[in-house]
Structure 1
């Protein structure tokens, strides 16, 4: 059986095996949890071969997060704060392997959410790129959700509702359709990368306008890495895709 080990290098250069896992994503999740926790000077990494993933693999992984998200009671603003905290540990990278993206989404399910940075004063997201675009979108969404907490969107919000913004200088559109982490993740991935199938029971193809204007083909695609702009598109679809 293939295993993946999490290793740590301390301040003196000593290397210690911390744990081993039967799944690479689980090992990467452990590393991200360490990196996004309390500040430290130690280095963590995963030893073992990379495993190629498809958009379908990532979609199924996202679907599997629904149960722990619901049972853990994590609300969307908490999840996005945790996701933002995890993402900052990789902000200097231009591209991320798909298994590390899956680990990032997984780590945010249980990681303690850090306080979010300033959430106003962003340029429109289409004028930004890379991690700056991703971060502006996530922090703007957190600010919208904080406003919704003061003025709840109502029982029919899934038909679409505008955020009751106290500021108009956010990077994202004001319209929202998804208000829980599981729906945000599923819609984000389906809208940005595809990978879903009607047999999943999560969605069906329907006629009419959608966001994005040209949604991705749900066909299975091998994807080695994604950019922060790809993840920014994911975050927008998490808010706007139905």
Structure 2
């Protein structure tokens, strides 16, 4: 099995609430961290573990570990990421979603970097703000972004497909889910 394959949970095993509850439980006691720093740490962790196959344990470990992992310096080249990568196509991900997730992280970190001292200083930001690049944001810390992302992803009846792309989908859903 390569690092780009995913494992699908059978329909009769699906309970989206269990994944949402697990995520909430695992991150509840983790220290607060600026979202940009969290994303930078997550990016480094993904680079270190990208040859592994995504599964449930790796997924939750990455999301939890990024709360305390060392974050690299922001890469100024990421400021060229001014457009959201959007959502996966009907065909899914050719590479298991790894590049999609990396693009989401670059985009979101660049957005947050640009919003410093501007939208991030707005005390009412949790009601939603528009970034300079005209993207809507509702969640500005890792706890709320992950929790809202999980609520948005796992509120339906679809089985979870553990892939690298699921990390990017969680982050993008968390950015826009109220």
Q: Which residue of 2 aligns with 1:132?
A: 99
CA offsets 1:178-226 (integer angstroms, 9 cap, x no match): 011110010111112x1xxxxxxxxxxxxxxxxxxxxx41x6x774x51
Bigger fraction of residues in strand: 1
Residue 60 (structure 1) aligned with residue 21 (structure 2): yes
In 1, Cα distance between the equivalents of 2:28 and 2:115?
22
| TM-score (structure 2 length as normaliser) | 0.74
| TM-score (structure 1 length as normaliser) | 0.56
Unaligned runs of 5+ in 1: 1-51, 166-172, 195-215
Q: 1:86 to 1:53 in 2, by over 3 A?
A: farther
In 2, Cα distance between the equivalents of 1:63 and 1:226?
18
2:125 to 147, 157, 160: 157
Higher relative contact order (CA 8 A, sep 6+): 2
2:67 to 109, 115, 119: 109
- Decide which structure has the larger Cα Rg and report it: 1
SS across alignment from 1:112 = coil
Q: 1:116 to 1:230 in 2, by over 3 A?
A: same
Q: 1:56 to 1:92 in 2, by over 3 A?
A: same
In 2, Cα distance between the equivalents of 1:180 and 1:124?
18
Task: Name the Cα RMSD after superposition.
Answer: 2.7
In 1, Cα distance between the equivalents of 2:65 and 2:84?
28
